[in-house]
Amino acid sequence: MRERGGFWVGLFASVFYPFTWAFSRRTTRGMENLPKQGPALLVLNHPSYIDPIVDAIFVHQHGRVPRFFTKHTLWNIPLLGRVLDGAGQIPVYRGTAKAGDSLRGADDSLRMGRVVVFYPEGTLTQDPDGWPTQVKTGIARVALANDVPVIPAARWGTREIFDSRRKKFRPFPRKRVDLVVGAPIDLSAYRDKDIDGVLLREVTEVIMDRVRELLKELRA
């Protein structure tokens, strides 16, 4: 059964499905690892600003409505703020006293049975070759606070369409964008431990090692 997203999600889909089809040929593997219902954390690499659009289409095609972390300043744009609220997106308050609210927003979304898409670097990949680097421990905090499937995934090809570091948009000819989704990561060995910086870093690396392995498969 397809998860109902409401009017605003339907509007997003009507715009971005044809938009992404125009410049990409998408392939997927392992989508059976993403639950058809119930909460899940989907963890991905992030080399291009168009990743959320493409990833949203991948997840929506699977019958789920993805929730992303989005800069809180976008809520100040009247119509866009309504769209983001209607689509259930999670505001991020970087560099403010409310910075921790975004992780609590992820907790709330998971408790409501939603799929939360997480880019652990918190921003674009800084590595010139597109490998995940400078990963923050927010993903470990959310994963340990919520006993939900933590699903690693990797996607490659979006940077060929929009190289965000060089500000180059090359939609044509259509580029191939591949997504591979791995099996949920077993974090049971970490859930009964006292949470400190060492544990958070270890869990973060366990998750990201799997993301990197999947990215290596895609990039061959």
Q: Is 34 within a domain?
A: yes
| pLDDT for the residue 96 | 56
Helix axes 6-23, 78-86, angle to 10 degrees: 100
Strand partners, 24: 175
Q: How would you label 107-139 residue by residue, b for 16+ Cβ within 10 Å and e otherwise?
A: bebbeeebbbbbbbbbebbeeeebebeebebbb
Q: What is the pLDDT of residue 122?
A: 87
Q: How many helices (H) and strands (E) does the chain have?
A: 7, 10
Does residue 36 fall inside a structural domain?
yes
User: Does residue 13 sit within a domain?
Assistant: no
Residue-wise pLDDT for 171-212, tens only, equals: 999 999 999 999 999 999 999 899 999 999 999 999 999 999
Determine the structural domain holding residue 155 and report its residue range.
23-219
Within-domain flag for 56? yes
Q: pLDDT for 59-105, tens place per residue?
A: 999 999 999 988 777 777 776 677 777 777 888 876 555 656 778 88
- DSSP element (H, E) containing 40: strand 40-43
Task: Please report whether residue 17 resides in a domain.
Answer: no
168: in domain: yes
State the CATH number of the domain containing residue 175.
3.40.1130.10
Which residues have a Cβ under 8 Å from the Cβ of 115 and sit 6 or more positions away?
34, 35, 39, 40, 42, 59, 64, 65, 66, 67
pTM: 0.92
CB neighbour list of residue 218: distance below 8 Å, 6 or more residues apart: 154, 155, 156, 178, 180
Q: Structural domain tally of the chain?
A: 1
- Dihedrals phi, psi of 71, to nearest 5 degrees: -55, 130
25-71: per-residue pLDDT in tens?
A: 999 999 999 999 999 999 999 999 999 999 999 999 999 999 998 87
The reply to whether 87 falls in a domain is yes
Alpha-carbon distance of 75 to 158, in angstroms, equals 26
In a domain, 135, yes or no: yes
